[in-house]
């Protein structure tokens, strides 16, 4: 079945801080783009919530904008497909109204319950069936926290859903959840493709309180007439479920063949590889998430990616930031230029980037950042170089874990905001000692959603067509002089990670008991 050149697909990517909507043609070229942000509410320590209505409005605004910008004519839009951030949780009442905001993956208030699950051994039992590490990011762990600490709210709940489920309910009046996002809840058994009986028993959630499980290629039609009118989308247009943002990012950068590693660094980051059947890390450090038939993504997410670089800029280079804003130039480019003047290894200065706790590789919500090896010879320039290297060292540790499950990577496809920096791209190649390819694909998760949607609609036969849509604009080869330095420093960095882990809970407890009154003001600034 061949599409005309005027046929389009829309990819919607529901992110943690914004929703991106992209209009693609059938060759994967973008024709219109909208990015609508919304706030992350952090009213109390460890909270990280969003307003579901603000996200819904961002979706409607984005769809409306790309339809208008792309001048899409009736019949030209073949489908809309979704990508969404994992681990979101919303409690809905019997009248289908939200009882809570969206509790996001970044919310750490369930940390105690994750630790209790690990200590009891139940966490390991559930991980072996669900592929979701025991961590407060997991909706399953959040449900334990809510049941214990807000029982009245928990008992009022008629439906436990995620943000994409909420959006689709508003558009179609039906609760459905694709296997990929269900997989990320910690309630889904990856071996029988159904809600897990033990997870339901542990949380006290009934099957009828959860959405209907459907394929990532499942289609919904009959969008609400009022929203169809606002967006300009024909109500008969198929909306394809799509999958989670991480799995679709692998697809969107053409990292779907065995041994092809996808490394993503945006605000946070991840390292992922596709395997042909569900396998779990025996040590419980990696996730296993469904993408499509015969394609599962094994990997590790990190909390601390570009957000660490932002902290370095705001806290260590505030004067440079102000100057950059006055000159209307990119302050991050100024910092990477400063860091590039420092040799690989930052003259022995090491940085652990755990400013927001950490998921992979250490799975410790109490983890904290640190500089090690400081001497009088070190400058702020060394600190920025060490911070950038520390982010990549952490990703390297995740890669080592993936090797143990899926074998040594054959190629690396890198994407995310960091990919704009030549220094960071080279650093990745040097530390990983692998050639790194930077695909030119625009918004990889949205493109991945569209390719999956095209397969659902029968426009393409399989997902491999993505290779024709993704080009390589930059290839970086390892620099031998640099990787020799990193070979010496990495073992020290890894040993330090293990040695510091015993004190993370102590310092985190101190910080909770003695909160910094200036911290919230700094965040608001």
Distance CA 133, CA 401 (A): 14
Per-residue pLDDT tens digits for 447-463:
999 999 999 999 999 99
The whole-model pTM stands at: 0.90
Domain span at residue 320 reads 306-356+364-391+479-513
Does some domain include residue 208?
yes
pLDDT at 144 over 80: yes
Pair type for strands 370-372 and 411-415: unpaired
Let me know if residue 299 belongs to a domain. Answer: no
**CA 134 to mean position of chain CA atoms:** 17
Indicate the DSSP class of residue 206: -
> Residue 293: inside a domain, yes or no?
no
H helices of 173-259, in order, are: 179-183, 197-203, 225-231, 245-252
Q: Are residues 38 and 154 in the same domain?
A: yes
Give the residue from 186, 219, 237 where a domain finishes. Answer: 237
- Residue 488's contacts (CB-CB under 8 Å, 6 or more residues apart) are 345
Beta-bridge partners for 476: 436
Residue 494 lies in a domain: yes
Mode of pairing for the β-strands spanning 18-25 and 176-178: unpaired
Above pLDDT 90, what percent of the chain?
89
Same domain membership, residue 310 and residue 213: no
The DSSP H or E segment spanning 96 is: none
Question: Measured between alpha carbons, how far is 317 from 67 in angstroms, rounded to an integer?
Answer: 41
Please determine, for residue 298, whether its predicted confidence score (pLDDT) is greater than 90: yes
Of 180, 210, 237, which residue sits at a domain end?
A: 237
Buried b (16+ CB within 10 A) or exposed e, 37-53: ebebbeeeeebbbbebe
Confidence of residue 472 (pLDDT cuts 50, 70, 90): confident
Query: What integer best gives the mean pLDDT of the chain?
Result: 94
Question: What pLDDT, in 10s, does the model give residues 188-208?
Answer: 999 999 999 999 999 999 999
**Assigned token pair, 504:** 């993370």
Nearest to 186 by CA among 110, 262, 256: 110
What is the tally of structural domains in the chain? Answer: 2
**Residue 12: beta bridge partners?**
21, 82
Closest Cα to residue 231, out of 24, 516, 34?
34
Q: Name the strand (E) or helix (H) holding 316.
A: none
The 10s digit of each residue's pLDDT in 419-452 is 888 999 999 999 999 999 998 776 899 999 999 9
Q: Answer yes or no: is 142 within a domain.
A: yes
318 and 225 share one domain: no
**Does 522 score more than 60 pLDDT?**
no
Please check whether residue 185 lies inside any domain of the structure: yes
Are 220 and 313 part of one and the same domain?
A: no
Shared domain check, 166 and 18? yes
Q: What residues contact residue 11 under an 8 Å CB cut-off, 6+ apart?
A: 21, 22, 24, 80, 81, 82, 83, 443, 445, 446, 447, 448, 449, 450, 453
Consecutive H or E run containing 482: helix 480-513
Give dist(CA 463, CA 468) in Å, integer.
Answer: 11
- Whether residue 218 is contained in a domain is answered as yes
Examine the domain organization and report whether 221 and 330 are in the same domain. Answer: no
Q: How far is CA 429 from the centre of its chain?
A: 22
pLDDT in tens, 1-52: 444 458 999 999 999 889 999 999 999 999 999 999 999 999 988 899 999 9
Highest mean pLDDT among 315-329, 374-388, 463-477: 374-388
Q: Residue 18's pLDDT is what? A: 94
Same domain for 196 and 326, yes or no, is: no
**Domain stops at, among 237, 259, 290:** 237
Instruction: List the alpha helices (DSSP H) in 100-255.
Output: 111-120, 122-130, 139-149, 151-156, 163-172, 179-183, 197-203, 225-231, 245-252
Give yes or no: residues 20 and 134 share one domain. yes
Count of CB atoms situated within 10 Å of the CB of 415: 25
Q: Which helix (H) or strand (E) holds 404?
A: helix 380-406
Structure tokens that stand for 231 in this block = 């967006």
Provide the percentage of residues in the chain whose pLDDT is more than 70: 97
Query: Which ranges of 341-379 would DSSP assign to H, the alpha helix?
Result: none
The pLDDT assigned to 419 comes to: 81
Asked if residue 231 is part of any domain, the answer here is yes
pLDDT at 518: 65
pLDDT in tens, 112-129: 999 999 999 999 999 999
Residues 197 and 329 reside in one and the same domain: no
The continuous run of DSSP H or E covering 326 comes out as helix 318-327
Please check whether residues 212 and 92 belong to one and the same domain: yes
Q: Determine what percent of the chain falls in helix, strand and coil, rounding each to the nearest 5.
A: 45, 20, 35
Residue 227 is part of a domain; what is its CATH number?
Answer: 3.30.420.40
């Amino acid at each position: 079945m061949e599409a005309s050149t005027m046929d389009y697909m829309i990819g919607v990517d529901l992110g943690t801080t914004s929703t991106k909507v992209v209009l693609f043609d059938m060759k994967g070229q973008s024709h219109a783009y909208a990015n609508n942000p919304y706030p992350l509410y952090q009213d109390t320590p460890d909270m990280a919530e969003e307003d579901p209505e603000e996200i819904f409005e961002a979706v409607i605004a984005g769809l409306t904008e790309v339809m208008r910008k792309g001048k899409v004519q009736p019949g030209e839009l073949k489908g809309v497909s979704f990508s969404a951030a994992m681990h979101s949780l919303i409690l809905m009442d019997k009248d289908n109204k939200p009882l809570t905001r969206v509790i996001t993956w970044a919310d750490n208030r369930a940390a105690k319950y994750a630790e209790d699950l690990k200590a009891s051994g139940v966490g390991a039992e559930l991980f072996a069936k669900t592929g979701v590490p025991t961590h407060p990011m997991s909706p399953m762990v959040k449900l334990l926290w809510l049941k214990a600490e807000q029982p009245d709210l928990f008992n009022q709940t008629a439906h436990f859903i995620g943000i994409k489920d909420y959006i689709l309910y508003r558009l179609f009046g039906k609760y459905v959840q694709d296997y990929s996002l269900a997989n990320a809840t910690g309630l889904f058994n990856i071996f029988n493709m159904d809600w897990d009986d033990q997870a339901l028993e542990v949380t006290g959630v009934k099957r009828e309180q959860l959405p209907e499980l459907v394929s990532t290629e499942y289609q919904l039609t009959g969008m609400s007439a009022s929203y169809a009118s606002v967006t300009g989308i024909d109500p008969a247009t198929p909306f394809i479920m799509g999958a989670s943002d991480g799995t679709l990012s692998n697809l969107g950068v053409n990292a779907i063949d065995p041994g092809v590693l996808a490394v993503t660094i945006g605000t946070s980051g991840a390292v992922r590889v596709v395997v042909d059947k569900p396998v779990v890390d025996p040590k419980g450090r990696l996730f296993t998430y469904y993408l499509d038939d015969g394609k599962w993504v094994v990997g590790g997410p990190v909390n601390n990616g570009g957000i660490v670089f932002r902290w370095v800029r705001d806290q260590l280079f505030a004067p440079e930031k102000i100057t950059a804003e006055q000159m209307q130039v990119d302050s991050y480019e100024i910092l990477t230029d400063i860091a590039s003047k420092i040799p690989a290894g930052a003259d022995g200065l090491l940085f652990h980037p755990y400013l927001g706790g950490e998921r992979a590789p250490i799975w410790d919500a109490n983890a904290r950042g640190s500089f090690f090896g400081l001497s009088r010879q070190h400058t702020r320039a060394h600190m920025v170089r060490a911070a950038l290297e520390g982010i990549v060292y952490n990703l390297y540790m995740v890669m080592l874990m993936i090797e143990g499950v899926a074998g040594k990577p054959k190629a690396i496809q890198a994407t995310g905001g960091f990919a704009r920096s030549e220094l960071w791209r080279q650093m990745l190649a040097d530390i990983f000692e692998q050639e790194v390819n930077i695909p030119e694909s625009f918004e990889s998760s949205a493109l991945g959603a569209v390719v999956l949607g095209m397969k659902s609609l029968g426009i393409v036969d399989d997902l491999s067509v993505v290779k024709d849509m993704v080009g390589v604009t930059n290839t970086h080869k390892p620099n031998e002089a640099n990787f020799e330095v990193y070979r010496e420093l990495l073992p020290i960095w890894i040993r330090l990670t293990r040695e510091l882990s015993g004190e993370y809970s102590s310092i985190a407890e101190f910080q909770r008991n003695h909160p910094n009154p200036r911290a919230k003001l700094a965040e608001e600034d």
